[in-house]
């Protein structure tokens, strides 16, 4: 019985320590927009609302990515990054590149470092774009 209580205590301490790491993690999305026709970007928006950050993560996690190297006609319209700031966890920030389709009804995403591509459906495109940019996708030029 003493061993069981000791084991339970050790596991409890471990779980509390792990949960603190997650709580201390600063979660946000940095959005950048393309300047002109060049492959140059400027910071556009920082999304810090936890619900919006989680919704973007949910959309991205539900995607069936295609493993493909794509060659688009122009640089991405937007880029967004989840840069995690937690000194206890070393993780790489993933850069997502976003293009607006010619009909302004869908977005295409690329994770260049992983050679992943997807074109989102109209619903997810509109929701993702509105969170990231703060405007309706259909109102883009």
In this structure, the number of other CB atoms found within 10 A of the CB of residue 8 comes to 10
The pLDDT assigned to 113 comes to: 85
Tokens 């994770």 sit at which residue?
Answer: 111
pLDDT tens for residues 23-33? 445 689 999 99
pLDDT of residue 120 exceeding 90: yes
Q: Are 85 and 26 in contact (CB under 8 A)?
A: yes
Question: Number of structural domains, the chain?
Answer: 1
Please enumerate in sequence order all residues whose Cβ is within 8 A of that of 2, keeping only pairs 6 or more positions apart, or say none.
Answer: none
pLDDT band for position 21 (cuts 50, 70, 90): very low
Q: Is residue 16 part of a domain?
A: no
The pLDDT assigned to 85 comes to: 59
Q: Is residue 10 part of a domain?
A: no
In this structure, the number of other CB atoms found within 10 A of the CB of residue 101 comes to 15
pLDDT of residue 66 exceeding 60: yes
Q: Assign residue 39 the CATH number of its domain.
A: 2.60.40.4400
Q: Is residue 15 part of a domain?
A: no
pLDDT of residue 4 exceeding 80: no
Supply the mean pLDDT for the chain.
84
Q: Is residue 7 part of a domain?
A: no
In this structure, the number of other CB atoms found within 10 A of the CB of residue 115 comes to 13
Q: Is 134 helix (H, G, I), strand (E, B) or coil?
A: coil
Q: Is residue 18 part of a domain?
A: no
pLDDT band for position 90 (cuts 50, 70, 90): low
Q: Is residue 14 part of a domain?
A: no
Averaged pLDDT, 100-106? 95
The pLDDT assigned to 20 comes to: 42
- Domain extent for 77: 26-139
Q: Is residue 2 part of a domain?
A: no
């Amino acid at each position: 019985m003493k061993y069981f209580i000791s084991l339970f205590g050790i596991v409890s301490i471990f779980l509390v320590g792990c949960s603190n790491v997650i709580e201390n993690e600063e979660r946000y999305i940095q959005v950048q927009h393309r300047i002109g026709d060049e492959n140059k970007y400027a910071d556009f928006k920082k999304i810090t609302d936890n619900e919006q950050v989680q919704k973007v993560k949910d959309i991205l996690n539900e995607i069936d990515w295609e493993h493909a190297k794509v060659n688009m006609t122009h640089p991405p319209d937007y880029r967004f990054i989840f840069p995690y700031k937690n000194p206890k966890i070393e993780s790489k920030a993933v850069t997502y590149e976003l293009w607006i389709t010619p009909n302004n009804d869908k977005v295409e995403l690329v994770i260049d470092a992983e050679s992943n591509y997807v074109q989102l459906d109209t619903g997810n495109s509109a929701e993702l774009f509105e969170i990231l940019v703060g405007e309706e996708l259909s109102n883009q030029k």
